Amino acid sequence: MNNPQAVQSTIKADRLTQAGIATFLIVSILIAYYQIFHFGFIAYDTAAYVTENTKVHAGITLDNVKWAFTTNFFANWHPLTWLSYMLDMELWGLNPTGFHVTNLFFHICNSLLLFGILQKLTSKTWESAFVAGLFALHPMHIESVAWVAERKDMLSTFFFLLAIASYVNYLQRQNLLRYGVILLTFFLGLMSKGMVVTLPAVLLLLDYWPLRRYGFSQQHDHLGKKPVIIVNDSHLSIILEKIPIVILAAFGAGMTILTQQGNLIPLERLPFSTRLATAFTGYLAYIEKTFWPINLAALYPLPGMPPLSETMLAVLVLLIISLLALQWRHSRPWFIIGWLWFLGTLVPVLGLIHVGHQFIADRYTYIPHIGFFIILAWGLSELSNMVFTRNKIFTAVAFTLLMASGIQTWHQLHYWKNDRTLWTRAVEITHDNYIAENNLGSALLQDNLPDEAKKHFICAIQINSRFDTAYFNLGSALANEGKLNEAIQNYQMALSLNPNLFLSQYQIARAYRQNKMSKEAITHFQNALILNPKLGDAYVQLGELYIENKQTNEALEIYKSLKKINPQDKEIPKKISALEKMLKQIKQNQP
């Protein structure tokens, strides 16, 4: 018989070990990311999400909650992400430290959840700790944590992991309530970011290992204790129970595609052959950066059609690893599960349905890396047992790798302190990166360095002559210097490339007004308001122009329209009253 005291002592020791690991994860994350508390906002995307978003500024109100669930603003449907920003605004105001604290809090939660889930599924404490440690400290995850605009990564992964934990809980005692929790947490994840649509596939992988629901023999697990949870079910029941989860995933995928419609790059501009080749080379780039995370950038530009040699090398590497995984599917099931997790969860962001200007992105590895880290952890454990017959070697190597990751994260994080350092780094380590050139120019313009800024805007245009944003920004730099005719030319060029660019219409109008060309200014202010009927300052300036030109009736109508979109402005009724008096006097003076 087992000694009850010995069992209790073992349980207590295990709990102390797990508490120690959790403490290590929390402390190491705080040390690696400490400097983030002194960082500001990165303007790229964060302006739309937070710093210039009036809905977020207003905090949590009934109208804003309704807006969060119904809007596809910025080509995304993620109501929980919007609500988290609004809550941060309620708590911190427009203080970047508060927003960074929230991101870091969720990163810590995700790391602890990952450790707890793996430890419960496999009973492998140290391997699970190593996976969670790599997840917590790997430099490629900086982008998700340090970039406030990527709050959706933090939230969606949190609910993704909760859904997995709920699934494990359900399998221990199957009932509708526990199954409903799986659906709820998954739906919350989808309402944070659509990338978690791969959850049904991940659950099927976990059914194979470590859950072993397909019924293959326990004797193949030669690395130690058996999994804590073993549920043998028929293959049909395993598939059928996933159907509601798959339906939710289809809904999430549909919402993502629907909201991204305007941003999808058509096949005429990016043929499917190029997308496929880029997907293969993208996988290889992710693997390379996972092992050697040195030259990391906020944006890696699309290279066009990769050379055939690079594509073939990528295909060969992926094929060899896949064949090894297939060969070892029984003896080393963790290998094929980790590999398929990595490959499968990257599928939504490989660019087969392409959105944006990026080739790959560090933030896309936040969930996929879990599979890759499982391979590293269990592989290192097996290797240390085979060669040295003891786990001290595993602990030493794992700790060294975690220390190296933490140090590199601390070093790489420095580039995220502001826009200027971030985009200077991107320009230095990438080629033909017109987005980075433009963003660096914007940062320099913000720092009152117009001459340096213009060089980068011009460089962006030289790389991509159809990049409307760079023309617009160059126009703004020239307008600030009083070179209004040159500014107008660049604004018009931006408008010719993007007829919906209402800010170009607005800035052209302002430049014409400064040049005392009222007729042209009025036309472009009107065009700007057609494109964006909520552009408040355009109403103001157009109203002033009408008054200057003694077009009192038109001015009155403009201010009445402005009152509808900005009812809180107490100055507008005064202007309307003054204009009405003016019109009354004009009528009285008429013969």
Structure confidence by residue, pLDDT tens digits, 495-551? 999 999 999 999 999 999 999 999 999 999 999 999 999 898 999 899 889 989 989
pLDDT of residue 355: 85
Query: What is the distance between the alpha carbons of residues 165 and 205, in angstroms, rounded to a whole number?
Result: 14
DSSP state of 390: S
Where residue 231 falls among pLDDT bands split at 50, 70, 90? low
Q: Which two tokens stand for residue 182?
A: 């799986």
Query: How many CB atoms are closer than 10 A to CB 359?
Result: 18
State mean pLDDT over 162-186: 97
**Mean pLDDT on 290-298:** 96
Which of 151 and 572 is assigned the larger pLDDT? 151
Position of tokens 């109501």? 79
pLDDT of residue 219 exceeding 80, the answer is: no
**Using 50, 70 and 90 to split pLDDT, how confident is the model at 247?**
very high
pLDDT of residue 109 exceeding 60, the answer is yes
Q: Give this prediction's pTM.
A: 0.93
| Cα separation, 194 vs 187, whole angstroms | 10
Confidence bin at 1 (pLDDT 50/70/90): very low
As a whole number of angstroms, the distance between CA 373 and CA 339 comes to 9
Distance CA 211, CA 231 (A): 7
Binned at pLDDT 50, 70 and 90, residue 13 comes out as: confident
- pLDDT of 586 > 70? The answer is no
How far, in Å, are 102, 493, 535, 555, 556 from residue 526 at the CA level? 42, 19, 11, 12, 15
CA angle 142, 443, 33 (to 5 degrees): 20
> What is the pLDDT at residue 36?
97
Residue 576's CB is within 10 A of a number of other CB atoms, namely: 18
Domain ranges of the chain: 17-416, 419-589
Q: What mean pLDDT comes out for the span 550-573?
A: 84
- Cα separation values, 457 from 399, 435, 462, Å: 45, 10, 9
Would you state the pLDDT for residue 236? Answer: 87
Across 439-465, average pLDDT: 97
Question: What is the reported pLDDT for 464?
Answer: 96
The answer to whether the CB of 193 falls within 8 A of the CB of 153 is: yes
CB distance 457 to 439 below 8 Å: no
Per-state percent for the chain, helix, strand, coil, to nearest 5: 75, 0, 25
What is the pLDDT at residue 145? 98
Q: What is the pLDDT of residue 50?
A: 97
Answer whether 433's CB lies under 8 Å from 427's CB.
yes
What pLDDT, on the 0 to 100 scale, is given for residue 224?
42
What's residue 218's pLDDT?
Answer: 46
Percent of the chain with pLDDT over 90: 78
At 577, is the pLDDT very low, low, confident or very high (cuts 50, 70, 90)? confident
pLDDT band at 226 (very low <50, low <70, confident <90, very high): low
Residue 564's closest CA among 555, 573, 552?
A: 573
HSE, side-chain direction, 13 A CA sphere, residue 421: 12
The pLDDT tens digits of the residues spanning 345-368 come to 999 999 998 888 899 999 999 999
pLDDT bracket for residue 230 (50, 70, 90): low
Distance between CA atoms of residues 85 and 255, nearest Å: 21
Q: Which helix (H) or strand (E) holds 43?
A: helix 43-46
What does each C-alpha distance from 200 to 182, 203, 243, 246, 462 come to in angstroms? 11, 5, 9, 6, 45
Say if CB 212 and CB 228 are below 8 A apart.
no
Express as a percent the part of the chain with pLDDT over 70: 94
In which band, very low, low, confident or very high, does the pLDDT at 388 lie, cut at 50, 70 and 90?
low
Q: How confident is the model at residue 221 (pLDDT cuts 50, 70, 90)?
A: very low
525-536 CB burial, b ≥16 within 10 A, e <16: bebbbebeeebe
Encoded amino acid at 186, one letter: F
Q: Residues 6 or more apart from 326 whose CB is under 8 A from it?
A: 336
Domain 419-589, what fold? 1.25.40
Tell me the two tokens of residue 326.
């297939």
Q: Which amino acid is at 324?
A: L
* In the predicted structure, residue 575 carries a pLDDT above the cut 90: no
* CA distance linking residue 54 with residue 375, whole number of Å: 45
Is 109 in contact with 158 (CB distance < 8 Å)? yes
**Rounded distance, CA 82 to CA 66, Å?**
11
Instruction: Measure the CA–CA gap between 573 and 563, rounded to whole angstroms.
Output: 7
Give every CB contact of residue 445 below 8 A, 6+ residues apart in sequence. Answer: 453, 473, 476, 477, 480
Report d(CA 495, CA 509) in Å as an integer: 13
Collect all residues with Cβ–Cβ distance below 8 Å to 259 and sequence separation of at least 6.
Answer: 72, 75, 76, 77
Mapped onto helix, strand or coil, the DSSP state of residue 405 is helix
Q: Which two tokens stand for residue 330?
A: 């029984």
Residue 451: CB atoms within 10 A of its CB come to 9
Whose structure tokens read 């602890």? Answer: 112
Residue of 499, 362, 494, 505 whose CA lies nearest to 438: 494
Q: Is the pLDDT of residue 10 over 90?
A: no
Average pLDDT over the chain reads 92
Q: How far is CA 355 from CA 386, 472, 497, 585, 586, in A?
A: 46, 22, 18, 58, 56
Exposed / middle / buried, residue 77 (Cβ in 10 Å: 0-12, 13-18, 19+)? buried
Which residue is associated with the tokens 């707890």? Answer: 116
